[in-house]
Amino acid sequence: MDRIVGLPGDRVTLRGGVLLVNGRVPPAQHRPLMPPAELSANIDIQAGHDEYVILPSLLAFSRHGNISPTMVNNLYNSVSRVKHGAVLGKIFWRIRPFSRYGAVE
């Protein structure tokens, strides 16, 4: 699970490690838990009226030599929209990546 970076109606783009939400760089507390520079994808997602946008930390998949950048982009684009009813709760504690272990703001 990862942080919600886009609310209903938001446009979320990621190009060259730069994350924009509605054309602006979001504040640190609204960015994904995995630093955007390490998310190896190029996405452009418009959230629907009942959708949120997350950027799952699929970095482990993207570093394997047998998965192409196109496949990584397709993975992000297929799993990044989450319907409102699918959000089940709030995460309070992060265990991965270990460099950012601790409470989630």
**pLDDT tens, 41-93?**
788 999 999 998 888 765 555 555 566 777 777 777 777 888 887 777 776 67
Sign of CA pseudo-dihedral 97, 79, 40, 44: negative
DSSP 102: E
- The model's pLDDT over 7-29, given as tens digits with 9 standing for 90+, comes to 899 999 988 888 899 999 988 77
Q: Can you give the CATH number for the domain in which 63 is found?
A: 2.10.109
Question: Which domain range does residue 53 map to?
Answer: 4-103
The structural domain count of the chain equals 1
pTM of the model as a whole = 0.70
pLDDT for the residue numbered 46: 93
